[in-house]
Structure 1
Amino acid sequence: MPQRNILKNHTAGPAFLLGFTDHPGLPGVCFTIFLLVYVTVVIGNGLIVLVTVAELSLHSPVYFFLRNLSFLEISYASATLPKMLVCFLMGDVWISFFGCAAQLYFLVLLGSSECLLLAAVAYDRYVAICDPLRNSLVMNGGFCELVVGSWMAAIPIQVGKTYQVFSLPFCASHHLHHFSCDVPPLLELACADTFWSRVTLHAVILLFAVLPFSIIVASYVRIIGTVLKNSSPGRHKAFSTCTSHLMVLTLFYGSATVLYFKHRPADTDKYLALFYTVLTPMLNPVISMRNREVRIALRKLLWKK
């Protein structure tokens, strides 16, 4: 594949070569697979949003969180998959300096927002199961603030992180061994000391991943303890809504933790990144459909149509 000339000044910035050139013989197959994945993400999560808005019985905090999580999954997949489809269809595996910066910003922003939103869902389940008498008072007065905070809290910090990464000088090789512009592979291309960039990266991870995960673990420890002590049908019904949340947590945190906390990147990291950028958004509606109330509301909506 011919390589275009790369601008090296920081006014226009260098272009980056994405990691699609390892498998030049599979563009058609990959385009079909990822197109089906993207359609599944948009339609599946879109249905969750539509159902939780249209069905009055689902106008409760837990489904409000689920609706926002589904919208976030559509946005998260849209930050990477359209560019991947263009790469497979047109054979253009380059991304501009500003395009790469925009992609990185939305990836880290949406990823941070998802971590905070998952922690908010865990807190909602904790209040609903461990303190049901105060559930409506606590959550009806504060769940909107939790969601808005999940979306807004990361914006200024991730703007600063994106600026820090792209203010670094990049080496002659601009080949990202990754399907998208992410922090670890970009830092590997820098021709400068990246110590402080890595320090701030781990500080951001601590703030937007480790801290929310600690809240999630603490919430579920209390939840499981309460359910084991009290076997009332109401608590078991509330706990059943936690299973989909736990599955999303396992997929998202498991793959992201391995990628971001590895000492040195490996060529297989780009495939691991597909778990939290592509697989989790695709499986979110499938997991959400395990919820009985969601299935009933979807059948009612489709029957009306």
Structure 2
Amino acid sequence: MEHANTSFKKGFILVGFSDWPQLEVFLFVFILIFYSLTLLGNITIITLYQIDLRLHTPMYFFLCHLSFLDLCYTTTTVPQLLINLHGHDRTITYGGCVAQLFIFLTLGSTECVLLVVMAFDRYAAVCRPLYYTNIMHPFLCQTMAASSWAVGCINSLIQTGLMMAMPLCSHQLNHFFCEMPAFLKLACQDIEGTEAKMFVARIIILVIPAILILVSYVHIAQAVLRVKSMAGRRKAFGTCGSHLLVVSLFYGSGIYTYLQPMHRYSESKGKFVALFYTIIAPILNPLIYTLRNKDVNGALWEVLRRGRDSW
């Protein structure tokens, strides 16, 4: 069994979409466009936060962190995918694969926790408006953001460590990046014990945050329904609607991929679902927040107006 892992120190072959060669050109163009738009959208949000003092509030502080996460999240996988789609060399070194897995899990786990923090921020804004500035103190915001990264890193260390200890019997990874469910398919022996430990880690990082977010929004809905003015209700729902949509997209695809039993996991379907949460979701986040948010729209148009006047 020891030979199984040492034989892969030279690396893995990422099968990617080579079993659908007719799709590769289309996927290359599609992914390149979406990746460029993702970079543009998320960099725009980060830049607007930095230059517009009106956006220096807890909500946009966390949104800036989310945009940075999405930038890193998609950049961890997409360049490698574009190289594989365009060329014939589909190999990735063992170290590169482990690093990609660790970084991807860290970013995904961090986003799970950060979305809970953003839900708490919306809860405080809607349910405790008079105490909002006292509750969401800058030091608390920074502490919660740092804690999100710490929890994400710890979860990733645990799962990556468990994966590296597994004996693997194939160097062909049927995916376009080094993702955990695809790795589990390469195991040489019965890995029920390892899979159970990973499942517990995923419950902690996926299900518990999802429940906390759901509880927050139940309280938010109850508070909004007590508001007599329709304009007040619309404002409250508008404030929270964007975050809830982002949460639904992220947790829906994450739970589908990581919480189903391995014997039911389809590598072919898994690759296309992974395209959604590595490429499509990161571009939807800035679109959802900018198109549905007057403050961000206002800041964007102000920057564009200044740029036009300077010309």
TM-score, reference length from structure 1 = 0.92
Tell me, what secondary structure is at the counterpart of 1:262? Answer: coil
Tell me, what secondary structure is at the counterpart of 1:16? Answer: strand
Contact 2:113 2:152 in 1 (8 A): no
Q: CA RMSD in A?
A: 1.8
For 1:209-220, what aligned pairs fall within 5 Å after superposition?
Answer: 209-220=206-217
Shift of 1:8: 6.2
For 1:14-29, what aligned pairs fall within 5 Å after superposition?
Answer: 14-29=11-26
Tell me, what secondary structure is at the counterpart of 2:276? Answer: helix
* Residue 98 of structure 2: aligned partner: 101
For 1:33-52, what aligned pairs fall within 5 Å after superposition?
Answer: 33-52=30-49
Contact 1:101 1:162 in 2 (8 A): yes
Contact 2:14 2:177 in 1 (8 A): no
* Residue 77 of structure 1: aligned partner: 74
> What is the aligned length?
298
- CA displacement 1:206-247 (0-9 Å, x = unmatched): 221111111100000000100001135556424312111111
Runs of 4+ aligned structure 1 residues displaced above 3 Å come to: 231-236
Matched AA of 2:86: L
Tell me, what secondary structure is at the counterpart of 1:275? Answer: helix
CA 1:142 to 1:9, structure 2 compared with 1: closer, same or farther past 3 Å? same
For residues 177 and 8 of structure 2, the distance between their equivalents in structure 1, rounded to whole angstroms, comes to 22
Asked if 1:167 corresponds to 2:165, the answer is: yes
Identity, % of aligned pairs?
A: 38
Asked if 1:178 corresponds to 2:180, the answer is: no
* Residue 287 of structure 2: aligned partner: 286
Tell me, what secondary structure is at the counterpart of 1:80? Answer: helix
Matched AA of 1:295: N
- CA displacement 1:99-154 (0-9 Å, x = unmatched): 11111111111110001000000000001100111110110141111111111222
Contact 1:77 1:281 in 2 (8 A): yes
Tell me, what secondary structure is at the counterpart of 2:21? Answer: coil
For residues 288 and 144 of structure 1, the distance between their equivalents in structure 2, rounded to whole angstroms, comes to 21
Contact 1:16 1:100 in 2 (8 A): no
* Residue 251 of structure 1: aligned partner: 249
Q: Which has the higher helix share?
A: 2
Asked if 1:156 corresponds to 2:158, the answer is: no
TM-score, reference length from structure 2 = 0.91
Tell me, what secondary structure is at the counterpart of 2:173? Answer: coil
CA 1:147 to 1:238, structure 2 compared with 1: closer, same or farther past 3 Å? farther
For residues 165 and 13 of structure 1, the distance between their equivalents in structure 2, rounded to whole angstroms, comes to 17
* Residue 130 of structure 2: aligned partner: 133
Contact 2:127 2:219 in 1 (8 A): yes
Shift of 1:18: 2.8
For residues 116 and 5 of structure 2, the distance between their equivalents in structure 1, rounded to whole angstroms, comes to 42
Q: Which moved more, 1:133-142 or 1:78-87?
A: 133-142
Tell me, what secondary structure is at the counterpart of 1:153? Answer: helix
Matched AA of 1:110: L
CA 1:15 to 1:175, structure 2 compared with 1: closer, same or farther past 3 Å? closer
Tell me, what secondary structure is at the counterpart of 1:189? Answer: coil
Contact 2:8 2:94 in 1 (8 A): no
Structure 2 residues without counterparts, runs of 5 or longer: none
For residues 200 and 39 of structure 1, the distance between their equivalents in structure 2, rounded to whole angstroms, comes to 37
Tell me, what secondary structure is at the counterpart of 2:17? Answer: coil
Contact 1:126 1:222 in 2 (8 A): yes
For residues 93 and 250 of structure 2, the distance between their equivalents in structure 1, rounded to whole angstroms, comes to 28
- CA displacement 1:54-92 (0-9 Å, x = unmatched): 111111000111111011000100111010011112222
- CA displacement 1:156-199 (0-9 Å, x = unmatched): 3312321220221211x332222221111101101023122211
* Residue 273 of structure 1: aligned partner: 274
Tell me, what secondary structure is at the counterpart of 1:79? Answer: helix
Matched AA of 1:112: S
Contact 1:170 1:191 in 2 (8 A): yes
Structure 1 residues without counterparts, runs of 5 or longer: 1-6
Tell me, what secondary structure is at the counterpart of 1:155? Answer: helix
Asked if 1:60 corresponds to 2:62, the answer is: no
